[in-house]
Amino acid sequence: MRCPYCGNKNDSVIDSRSSVNGSSVRRRRKCLKCKKRFTTYEYVERVPLMVVKKDSRREPFEREKLLNGIMVACEKRPVSVKRVEKVVDDIEKYIERKHDKEVASREIGELVMKHLHALDEIAYVRFASVYRQFRDVGQFVRELKQFLK
């Protein structure tokens, strides 16, 4: 680490502290040449996770997109934002543990369906109707029958 004041490469770490959520480390340093103090932050470098769409396009995983999709399904339902955020956290952690670089959008959709099934029946049906792209009422009724089993 170079001193921002004199450019010297030698310093000593005076203090290290983890951030509140544990995602970074704050270090207070002192330059051994000019004796000035400065702060550095250390973060884990993450490789961006890519979502492979049905048509083989790839786009970066976006937590906000996942959150918004679930929020739409839960609209006007007795489901708190906190519970929805917990679902998104769980899905995101699962994906990060299981996949290094790419995940199929189909797998994300199935994970959402699994969580919504346990969270709220109406939100599940709403999401399923969009996710499964029902072409007619018959498909919708079959999904409902499957759900009721």
54 within 8 A of 65, measured Cβ to Cβ: no
All structural domains of the chain with their residue ranges = 11-43, 50-148
Of 53, 118, 66, 69, give the one whose Cα is nearest residue 92: 66
pLDDT over 70 at 96, yes or no: yes
Task: Indicate the residue type of 125.
Answer: V
Measure the CA angle with vertex 87, ends 81 and 92; round to 5°: 125
Angle at 100 between CA 43 and CA 87, to 5 degrees: 80
> pLDDT tens digit string along 32-68?
999 999 999 998 777 789 999 999 999 999 999 999 9
Per-residue pLDDT reduced to its tens digit, 116-138: 999 998 898 888 888 777 777 77
Q: φ, ψ for residue 40 (rounded to 5)? A: -125, 155
Phi, psi of 16 (to 5 degrees): -130, 135
Q: Which comes out higher in pLDDT, residue 132 or 147?
A: 132
Q: Is 33 helix (H, G, I), strand (E, B) or coil?
A: coil
Indicate the pLDDT class of residue 147, thresholds 50, 70 and 90. Answer: low
CA distance 86 to 91: 9
For residues 105-121, give the mean pLDDT: 93
